Amino acid sequence: MTTISELPPGFADKVLSAQSTFRSVMDAMARPGSVRRIVPMAGAPGPMMRGTAAIALTLFDHDTPLWLDARMAESPDVVKWLKFHTGAPVVQDCSIASFALVSNGAALPPLDRFALGTREYPDRSTTVIIQLESLVSGRSFELRGPGIDGVATLQASIEPFDLLERLRLNEVLFPRGIDVVLVADDAVVAIPRTTRAVSKGS
């Protein structure tokens, strides 16, 4: 049984670290497909990567319902750490989640189960954060859309294998839709709902 004192710490310097992480995430959103680095924090609980933990410390609070995949939810350290450091309520229903943490992309639920926003409030949708093995090796993908000069190429070990095909629902839903953040250790890439992506050569 892990006590609070045994949990990995949060940011050593809360203000500077949160500002730095926020900038990295916003830069990633503004330039889809580009790899941004997050200054690592001291530690992360269980199956949570350092970049994911830093994003949680920066963006989650008691007003951001959070959905965890089975691997995250079954880790007592993750649940305790999130509750202690962020206060974000963990929910079972992913359709009301502001954020979703996915450590096993192969088990990602259908995207239309998450909050998709409304026409009046398209921002009331779920941002899905998916952990991957790598954002520099794997299959190649071409990304187009706002913030991209022509075409951006992303090479990543994306799971689920058909994630980008699933994200095509954003084309029909816009301005509603799902924003995705990919994390590999301390690296982050964003695929916002305005981005269109295809496997290279397909």
pLDDT exceeds cutoff 60 at 169: yes
Q: Model-level pTM?
A: 0.93
pLDDT value at residue 18: 86
Cβ atoms 78, 48 nearer than 8 A? yes
Q: Note the pLDDT tens digit of each residue in 3-58.
A: 555 667 777 677 788 899 999 999 999 999 999 999 866 678 989 999 999 999 99
| Region 181-187 average pLDDT | 96
> What pLDDT band is residue 202 in, cutting at 50, 70 and 90?
very low
| Percentage of the residues of the chain whose pLDDT score is greater than 70 | 94
Residue 181 neighbours by CB under 8 Å, 6+ apart: 25, 28, 55, 127, 128, 129, 130, 188, 189, 190, 191
Q: Which residues pair with 128 in a beta bridge?
A: 100, 180
Residue 110 has a pLDDT of 96
Task: Summarize pLDDT for 86-118 with one digit per residue, the tens.
Answer: 999 999 999 999 999 999 999 999 999 999 999
Q: Report pLDDT digits (tens) over 110-126.
A: 999 999 999 999 999 99
- The whole-angstrom separation of Cα 26 and Cα 189 is 10
Of 148, 112, 141, the C-alpha closest to 32 is 148
